[in-house]
Amino acid sequence: MKRTGQQALLYAAFICTCLEDRGWSFAISLCMQLLGGMQLVSIEQLAEGIAQIAFSGAVGRVVDGRSERKWGMIVCLMGNNFSIIASCSLFAVCLSIDRSIWVYTLCLLLGMLFCSSYRVFVMAEKNLTSRDWVLVLVRHKEEGSALAKTNAILTSLDQLANVLSPLLLGALLSFVSLKIACIVLAVCSVISLIIKASLLYVLYGNNERLRVKGDPEDPSEEETPKVVEAEANKPSLAKRIATLFSVLSTYYAQSVFPAALGMALLFMTVMGFDGLAIGYGESVGLPENILGLFRSFGSAAGVAGAIMYAVFERRFGVMRTGMIGMILQECCLIVAVVSIWLPGSPFNPAAYFDTLTWSSWWQAFVDSFSPSPDAPTASPPPPSKIDWSNWTTSDGTSVASIFSFFAGIATARFGLWMADLAITHIMQLATPESQRNTVFGVHNAICQAFSVMKDLLVIVLPDPSTFGICILISFAFVCSGFAAYVYYVVKVGRVEANGRAQ
């Protein structure tokens, strides 16, 4: 089979993964919102983040330890899709039974547990497809332009799935209940598993390099089997401790560590299109359709950034392209930062802290866990509207601040995805094949650690009047990520200059 045909198989399998990932992520938010409100949404997201921190590196090490690539992919496919099927089924039960019985609580907790395992396995599956197998398909590490183009296509497919999945699920929910939609998603996951397995089976059988793991020209490829063999003879507790330090040391030892850390720091931000930013928009009266338009615009900006990355990489090189992406992101996010002082901003931390006491904060936190059995049957609030003649919401609040905030974070995704692809490209080329899944697994865990910090920050400062503080702290972390990437570029430049001098 020709190389283009093999790449088409990889793209088809990857888009299936992205569609089920984005679709089920959206469905999880709907289920959590219906069952327990935003507090339950936050708890579920926090559980997913902690699971990734705890197990991403270990899953990557297990995948790297397999002698054949197919076994690592089988583990990820089965873990991912089984978790989706189980959580879909459990949430369907939760939506069908009385909340006052213990079975409801058990199904809810088990469903959230399977959601966490799903997140670990789906990220491992994406990493294995887009960080490992893709390098084999471009034949050789030196084919930088081909790799950049392939990475751009994979990122565009992921962003396309981010647009299509909520639309498809929304269309489904216009005809059936959320409970039925969960059952449909479980069936779709079975179908997706069959399709992905078939596509990857054909790809694996037609590419001999996929069946041969390891690069004989790279001496570092011999390290991992020895480490795995040595660890296998240790006691269980010692083995776990050794594995933890081993995966962390493997990640830190990479020459691209500063750039990877810079990328991870970007995850400690509330300036993204997750539930936190959407909730902030709703708190100031922005209509849901406007929020949806901003989200679609942000996804489109991400696709444009992925496409332009391939163009810029051919012209300026991967490191300069990453620098351009970082600078563009910084400039766009300045608009979001300035928004907290524009008309209509709820930013007023002084008033919040003047009335804040430990007992009042703790009571509000405890109250957020209170059961709300009336939630499924509660009437939705009347839809918000915007008076375009005055640019105000239905309650007279100016939209200048919130429009600037969402415009800034939406356009910033153009530069974000350029920087993301550049750093991913650099990590792919610089990481030994035998350590690739370990490194990307630990990298994902560290990224999620910063994401969890963001969730905890909002829990501590939950009021819209203090969200501006979260924005300022987030921007500081983004600037730190930019500084880490600049340090890496300067470091590489010095190494190359010394090499030429010698």
Contact between residue 59 and residue 69 where contact means Cβ atoms under 8 Å apart: no
Enter the tokens of residue 97: 């039974």
Contact between residue 3 and residue 139 where contact means Cβ atoms under 8 Å apart: yes
SS3 per residue for 88-149? HHHHHHHCCCCCCCHHHHHHHHHHHHHHHHHHHHHHHHHHHHHHHHHHHHCCCCCCHHHHHH
pLDDT on residue 376 = 42
- Dihedral of CA atoms 48, 52, 55, 56 in degrees, nearest 10, equals 140
Q: Is the pTM of this model over 0.85?
A: no
Strand, helix or coil for residue 393: strand
Upper half-sphere CA count for residue 40 (Cβ side, 13 Å): 19
Q: What is the H or E stretch that residue 387 is in?
A: strand 386-387
How many C-beta neighbours within 10 Å does residue 417 have? Answer: 26
Nearest-angstrom CA–CA distance, 355 and 357: 7
Nearest-angstrom CA–CA distance, 454 and 266: 11
Give backbone dihedrals phi and psi of 31, rounded to 5 degrees, phi first: -65, -45
| Helix pair angle (436-460, 3-65), 10° resolution | 80
Contact between residue 155 and residue 420 where contact means Cβ atoms under 8 Å apart: yes
Nearest-angstrom CA–CA distance, 255 and 431: 8
pLDDT on residue 281 = 78
Nearest-angstrom CA–CA distance, 439 and 396: 51
Contact between residue 234 and residue 242 where contact means Cβ atoms under 8 Å apart: yes
pLDDT on residue 223 = 45
pLDDT on residue 59 = 77
Enter the tokens of residue 480: 């730190």
Enter the tokens of residue 464: 């819209």
Contact between residue 99 and residue 373 where contact means Cβ atoms under 8 Å apart: yes
pLDDT on residue 484 = 93
Nearest-angstrom CA–CA distance, 49 and 487: 28
How many C-beta neighbours within 10 Å does residue 69 have? Answer: 22
pLDDT on residue 378 = 37
Upper half-sphere CA count for residue 144 (Cβ side, 13 Å): 21
- Least Cα distance to 95 among 31, 43, 33, 39 occurs for 31
Name every residue whose Cβ is closer than 8 Å to that of residue 190 and which is 6 or more positions away in sequence: 81, 85
Per-residue pLDDT of the chain (502 residues; tens, 9 = 90+): 676 788 888 889 889 988 888 888 878 877 876 776 666 777 787 888 788 777 876 777 777 766 677 888 888 889 889 999 999 999 999 888 877 788 888 888 899 899 999 988 888 888 888 777 777 777 644 455 666 677 778 877 887 887 777 677 777 877 888 889 889 998 999 999 999 999 988 888 887 777 766 554 444 444 444 444 444 454 465 666 666 677 778 788 888 889 999 999 999 998 887 767 777 777 777 776 677 678 778 878 888 888 888 888 888 888 999 999 999 999 999 999 999 999 888 888 888 888 888 887 777 666 554 544 444 433 344 556 777 777 787 777 788 898 999 999 999 999 998 999 899 888 888 887 777 777 887 887 788 888 888 888 887 887 888 889 999 999 999 999 999 999 999 888 776 656 655 5
pLDDT on residue 328 = 95
Enter the tokens of residue 43: 């708890």
